[in-house]
Amino acid sequence: MRVFSRSVETRHFLSVGRNTYTMASQTPTKHVVLGSGRLLGIQRKIDAVELLGWLAVLIPVLSYLADGGLTNLTDASRWFEVINRLSALIGTSMLLVHMLLIARIPWLEKTLGLDKLTAHHKRLGKPVLYLLVLHSLTAVVSYSIADSVNPLTTLIDLITDYPQLLLATVGLVLMIVVVISSIRAARRRLSYETWYLIHLVSYVAVLVAIPHQFELGSELLSSPWLNGYFIALYLYVFANVAWFRSLHPVVASLVMNQRIAQVKKEANRTTSLTITGRRIERLGVEAGQFFMLRVMAKGMWWRPHPFSVSASPSKEIRFTIGARGDDTAKIQDLKPGTRVILEGPFGVFSEAKRTKQHVTLIAAGIGIAPIRALAESMATEPGDITVIYRVTDTSDAALLDEVKRICQEREHYLFILTGSRPNGPGFMPVQLAGERQQPEFERLLTIAPYLLESDVYICGPAPWSESVLHALGKLRVPNDYIHLEEFSW
């Protein structure tokens, strides 16, 4: 291992061809196939998943058009009716896709990763709500024109005469509340626990809206196969949500007897939890991935929290957790033997996305947890991996001694960046007086000259990670070779 501050030494590496090759790690049985072919295979899987999502939305729309949905557009009432039905079909389909994205389905999660699935889920939230609001408004206007009464009277008549529509209205209001809580300004004011409780309401919102779709929805009533399509889609979504988000983790916890084996206080207000259980290795976790951890202790059992594994997985799983929120501050007081429920593993912040021989691992704060696990487990030859750890003070840096030991044993390059933060955006320490002033992307390339030939893994607080991404953008590092894990919700 070499520990650097700002100096750089010449390095010599094993020459490797451009095409796919295999590299062994310290563990003889582990081999990793790298190269452009692997990147192409990953992208094809992503494209296939995205195509399935588009088809789920297009199928009911095409069915409506094939049945003559756009015929007889002779008056305003008919136009509002068409908009009403299309917004219902598209909005409902998108809503079910929206739910599938966070159903924690293994094949889906392994392709896109929970972070990207969650990002897509967030982006779909507002469009889904807009479509459902449009559906509600056009329904009222359409009936108002047909009956020659004002819209308010029509709305009152509809929700009083049809209980299904009253339930749907309640569902729409609940959905509006959920979307508002997801707006960035609102999230800043809410704790994770409060936000989590509000989002549980979204399932209630969907359930109470179902009766009006199948009892009053003219498209579903007139088309048996489309009716069957939506029934099958609803069953698939709710079965996956119920199994993978609730039942499967509980069953696995009971069968494996998942419990806390050790609680160890670390530097910088962090605590390491070691979890054991019967054949816990069968969960198949990889370094860099994370679990939703539910601690079965008083006041903590009802909501899970996402934590990355901080050691190369074996017959036990370790998390290193910073005291940052309502529950994480209580972690250090937990006792060995406390039962836990592990939901996962999740994420593609792992060697599964690696396509290059050289790897640059960049961490800040508690983001060192998955970076440390990757540094310990990645297939490598001496000098292939560079670890950059941004800390304020080495005397209070989480897992620093372990990172130093791993880099020494595995002959990684380690750069520990210490010092105060810049006043504005930035991820590197403020330059000292008398130093040649350089932009951050130049400083990054100085300490990691093989960066442009590397897969880059970044983990830390969201604003800090954005600064790293900005520097990589200046260096024109392709997005396909950048792997990001942010500690935010």
Both structure tokens of 473: 């953008």
Residue 435 has pLDDT above 50, yes or no: yes
Of 8, 13, 5, which is closest to residue 411 (Cα–Cα)? 13
Domain end call among 314, 346, 378? 346
As separate numbers, helices (DSSP H) first and strands (DSSP E) second, the chain gives: 15, 14
pTM: 0.80
Q: Across residues 135-153, what is the average pLDDT?
A: 88
Residue 16 has pLDDT above 70, yes or no: no
Domain end call among 252, 273, 301? 252
Together in a domain, 46 and 21: no
Strands (E), 206-353: 259-266, 270-276, 290-295, 305-308, 317-322, 340-346
Cα angle at 321 between 319 and 324, to 5 degrees? Answer: 160
Amino acid at 462: A
Task: For the chain, give the percent of residues with pLDDT over 70.
Answer: 90
Write out the residue range of the structural domain in which residue 163 sits: 39-252
Task: For the chain, give the percent of residues with pLDDT over 90.
Answer: 46
Q: What is the tens place of the pLDDT at every residue in 386-397?
A: 999 998 888 878
For the ranges 31-40, 41-50, 70-79, the lowest mean pLDDT is seen at 31-40
Of 369, 320, 376, 317, which is closest to residue 345 (Cα–Cα)? 317
Together in a domain, 161 and 203: yes
Together in a domain, 53 and 176: yes
Confidence of residue 136 (pLDDT cuts 50, 70, 90): very high
Average pLDDT of the chain? 85
Contacts of 309 (CB under 8 A, 6+ apart): 285, 287, 288, 289, 290, 291, 317, 318, 319, 345, 369, 370, 373
pLDDT at position 40: 83
Confidence of residue 31 (pLDDT cuts 50, 70, 90): low
Residue 24 has pLDDT above 90, yes or no: no
The rounded distance, in Å, linking the Cα atoms of 296 and 303 is: 10
Together in a domain, 307 and 239: no
pLDDT at position 320: 93
For residue 449, whether the previous peptide bond is cis, meaning omega lies within 30 degrees of 0, is no
The listed range with the strongest mean pLDDT (3-12, 146-155, 179-188, 189-198) is 146-155
pLDDT at position 21: 36
pLDDT at position 34: 73
Structural domain count, the chain: 3
Of 93, 46, 86, which is closest to residue 232 (Cα–Cα)? 93
Of 43, 135, 129, 15, which is closest to residue 80 (Cα–Cα)? 135
Q: Does residue 399 come out as left (phi exceeding 0), alpha (psi in the -120 to 50 range) or beta?
A: left
Q: What is the tens place of the pLDDT at every residue in 290-325?
A: 999 999 988 888 888 889 999 998 899 999 998 776
Both structure tokens of 177: 């509340």
Q: What is the tens place of the pLDDT at every residue in 172-189?
A: 999 998 888 888 767 777
Q: How many CB atoms lie within 10 A of CB 302?
A: 11
Of 266, 306, 272, which is closest to residue 290 (Cα–Cα)? 306
Together in a domain, 66 and 177: yes
Together in a domain, 331 and 387: no
Together in a domain, 197 and 280: no
Together in a domain, 25 and 43: no
Domain end call among 321, 346, 371? 346
Question: Is-contact 169 161, C-beta < 8 A?
Answer: no
Together in a domain, 215 and 242: yes
Together in a domain, 194 and 293: no
pLDDT at position 26: 42
Q: Specify the higher pLDDT residue, 73 or 85.
A: 85
The tokens 């962090």 sit on which residue?
Answer: 270
The rounded distance, in Å, linking the Cα atoms of 61 and 389 is: 51
pLDDT at position 12: 29
Strands (E), 150-211: none
Q: What is the CATH number of the domain that holds 320?
A: 2.40.30.10
Together in a domain, 8 and 48: no
Confidence of residue 221 (pLDDT cuts 50, 70, 90): low
| Edge-first strand listing for the sheet containing 259-266 | 259-266, 270-276, 317-322
Together in a domain, 241 and 92: yes
pLDDT at position 23: 42
C-alpha to C-alpha distances, 307 to 77, 326, 346, 486, nearest whole angstrom: 53, 15, 10, 11
Q: What is the tens place of the pLDDT at every residue in 37-66?
A: 777 888 898 899 999 999 999 999 999 888
For the ranges 76-85, 192-201, 361-370, 380-389, the lowest mean pLDDT is seen at 192-201
For the ranges 109-123, 274-288, 463-477, the lowest mean pLDDT is seen at 109-123
The packing angle between helices 224-242 and 76-100, to 10°, is 30
Q: What is the tens place of the pLDDT at every residue in 98-120?
A: 999 999 999 998 888 888 888 89
The rounded distance, in Å, linking the Cα atoms of 296 and 8 is: 49
Q: How many CB atoms lie within 10 A of CB 176?
A: 14
Residue 19 has pLDDT above 50, yes or no: no
